[in-house]
């Protein structure tokens, strides 16, 4: 791809279980303060550790509020010259669940508030965008949305892109991951030898990407995509697809693995993901950059994960601080550099991984603006 323009993350807004804004979230990550809680009543009397947002607002009201917050922080007065890219794995499913479980039939379901496009529909009630589309690739949804934002800005097609990573807790996702046997009843322990699974969580993460840098912006330097072509729910055990995505991101960013200071892992806390990902990291990063998974604090926000973790990478670069792992007692793979404390050091480049059902992989590289 010929790059005409660079792409910068200039403004963000976020809400998740462990932070109603970015600063609070980063503080909680660095102080190991997780708000993931075990809930035995959410799904079928089976205990599951979940990351529910603590807000007095309805989830979709928070969506609008966060976009308004972002707009205020940004150099835009409206989104009329902005492309909207939503990344969500379940869209409006929780709305459908409410109606269907109450009534037992589909009659009162509005198709416009069921599928992925629900998010754009709700946003367009309040904001006008230049155009909009939604990516839905399970847990890489908003990572892919960010990747596309990078592409359309790099190719000089758009100057402003609003990426919205969003997924709401639902019976479908909690029950679904429970059915696969990958949900933990306790807060997750990514990369730990005794890890028991993931925590489903919800989040709204709004990111403005523009062709010009602003104060505190970070550059989205490179994106790498790959497909495992292996299994719907298991990654290739050697992490081949993950490695390929990271390699391609490095290529596009025009840097080498030695230039990466920190890896924000997908690190869900499941047996399969963490071992495959650790293998991929071990095989690619001979320099052993620091690695952590922030999902022990945010939980796995599914389609929103890519965007949530992009915001975390921006905070890492802005603060020049690598965040610690939480709940990690004994690492399974001793050949990767999982940090047990916060580290203040010079950080130029971070890489953030997202891997999804269907073997869909996306790695994003963020860099300090030179």
3-state SS assignment for residue 20: coil
Could you say whether residue 232 binds other proteins (CB under 8 A)?
Answer: yes
The H or E element that residue 327 is part of is none
Minimum CB separation of residue 69 from other proteins in Å reads 25
Shortest distance in whole angstroms from residue 102 CB to other proteins: 10
Residue 334 as a binder of other proteins (CB under 8 A): the answer is no
Helix (H, G, I), strand (E, B) or coil at 90: coil
The span from the CA of 260 to the CA of 246, in Å, is 11
The answer to whether the CB of 37 falls within 8 A of the CB of 52 is yes
Nearest to 313 by CA among 20, 22, 18, 1: 22
At its nearest, how many Å lie between other proteins and the CB of residue 73?
27
Half-sphere exposure of 73 (CA within 13 A, CB side): 22
Stretch that binds other proteins, among 85-93, 187-195, 319-327, 346-354 (CB under 8 A): 85-93
Q: Between residue 262 and residue 281, which ones bind other proteins under the rule CB under 8 A?
A: none
Q: Which is nearer to other proteins, 44 or 335 (CB)?
A: 44
Binding span for other proteins by CB under 8 A among 14-22, 57-65, 143-151, 260-268:
143-151
Selected from 12, 28, 74, 144, the binder of other proteins by CB under 8 A is 144
| Member of 24, 68, 98, 151 binding other proteins (CB under 8 A) | 151
How far is residue 194's CA from residue 45's CA, in Å, rounded to a whole number?
A: 24
For residue 26, give every residue at least 6 positions away whose Cβ sits within 8 Å of its Cβ, in sequence order, or none.
19, 312, 315, 319, 323
Q: Which is nearer to other proteins, 316 or 356 (CB)?
A: 356
Give the tokens for residue 283: 């095989």
Per CB under 8 A, the list member of 4, 126, 231, 288 interacting with other proteins is: 231
Nearest approach, Cβ of residue 113 and other proteins (Å)? 11
Position among 57, 78, 128, 227 found at the interface with other proteins (CB under 8 A): 227
For residue 370, the 8-state DSSP code is -
Contact 345, 322 (CB under 8 A): yes
In the region spanning residues 98 to 127, those forming contacts with other proteins, defined by CB under 8 A, are 100-101, 104-107, 109, 111-112, 114-117, 120-121
Unique residue bearing structure tokens 């230039």: 259
Taking residues 307 to 326 in sequence order and writing x for each that binds other proteins by CB under 8 A, - otherwise, the string is: --------------------
Assess contact for 202 and 52: CB atoms under 8 A: yes
Nearest to 206, CA basis, from 356, 338, 21: 21
Q: Does 40 bind other proteins (CB under 8 A)?
A: no
Q: Give catalytic residues, as residue numbers.
A: 139, 266, 300
- In the complex, the smallest distance separating the C-beta of residue 362 from other proteins, rounded to whole angstroms, is 9
Considering the rule CB under 8 A, would residue 352 count as an interface residue with other proteins?
no
Strands (E), 250-348: 262-264, 290-292, 321-322, 337-338, 343-344
Question: What whole-number distance in Å separates Cα of residue 76 and Cα of residue 216?
Answer: 16
Cα distance between residue 132 and residue 264, in whole Å:
28
Pick one of 230, 319, 332, 337: the residue that binds other proteins (CB under 8 A).
230
Q: Is 5 in the site for other proteins (CB under 8 A)?
A: no
Binding site for other proteins (CB under 8 A): 1, 44, 89, 91, 93, 96-97, 100-101, 104-107, 109, 111-112, 114-117, 120-121, 131-138, 144, 148, 151-152, 155, 157, 171-172, 175-181, 225-234, 241, 244, 356-360
């Amino acid at each position: 791809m010929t790059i005409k323009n660079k792409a910068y993350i200039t403004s963000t807004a976020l809400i998740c279980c462990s932070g109603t804004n970015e600063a609070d979230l980063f503080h909680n990550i660095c102080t190991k303060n997780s708000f993931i809680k075990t809930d035995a009543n959410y799904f079928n009397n089976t205990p599951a550790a979940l990351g529910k947002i603590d807000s007095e607002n309805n989830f979709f009201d928070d969506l609008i509020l966060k976009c308004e917050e972002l707009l205020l922080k940004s150099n835009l007065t409206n989104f009329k010259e902005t492309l909207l890219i939503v990344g969500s794995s379940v869209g409006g499913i929780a709305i459908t669940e409410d109606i269907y479980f109450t009534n037992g039939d589909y009659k009162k379901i509005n198709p416009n508030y069921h599928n992925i496009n629900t998010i754009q529909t709700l946003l367009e009630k309040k904001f006008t965008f230049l155009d909009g589309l939604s990516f839905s690739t399970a847990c890489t949804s908003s990572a892919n949305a960010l990747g596309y934002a990078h592409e359309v800005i790099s190719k000089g097609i758009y100057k402003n892109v609003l990426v919205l990573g969003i997924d709401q807790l639902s019976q479908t996702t909690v029950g679904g991951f429970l059915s696969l046997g990958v949900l933990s009843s306790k807060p997750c322990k990514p990369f730990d030898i005794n890890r028991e699974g993931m925590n489903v969580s919800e989040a709204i993460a709004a990111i403005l990407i523009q062709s010009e840098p602003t104060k505190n912006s970070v550059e989205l330097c490179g994106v790498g995509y790959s497909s495992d072509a292996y299994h719907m729910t298991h990654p290739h055990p050697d992490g081949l697809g993950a490695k390929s995505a990271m390699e391609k991101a490095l290529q596009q960013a025009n840097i080498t693995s030695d230039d990466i200071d920190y890896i924000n892992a997908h690190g869900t806390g499941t047996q399969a993901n963490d071992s495959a990902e650790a293998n991929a990291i071990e095989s690619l990063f001979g320099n052993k950059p620091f690695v952590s998974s922030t999902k022990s604090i945010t939980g796995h926000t599914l389609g929103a994960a890519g965007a949530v973790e992009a915001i975390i990478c921006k905070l890492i670069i802005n603060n020049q601080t690598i965040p610690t792992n939480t709940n990690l007692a004994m690492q399974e793979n001793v050949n990767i550099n999982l940090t047990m404390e916060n580290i203040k050091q010079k950080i130029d480049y971070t890489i953030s991984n997202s891997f999804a059902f269907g073997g869909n992989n996306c790695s994003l590289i963020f860099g300090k603006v030179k």
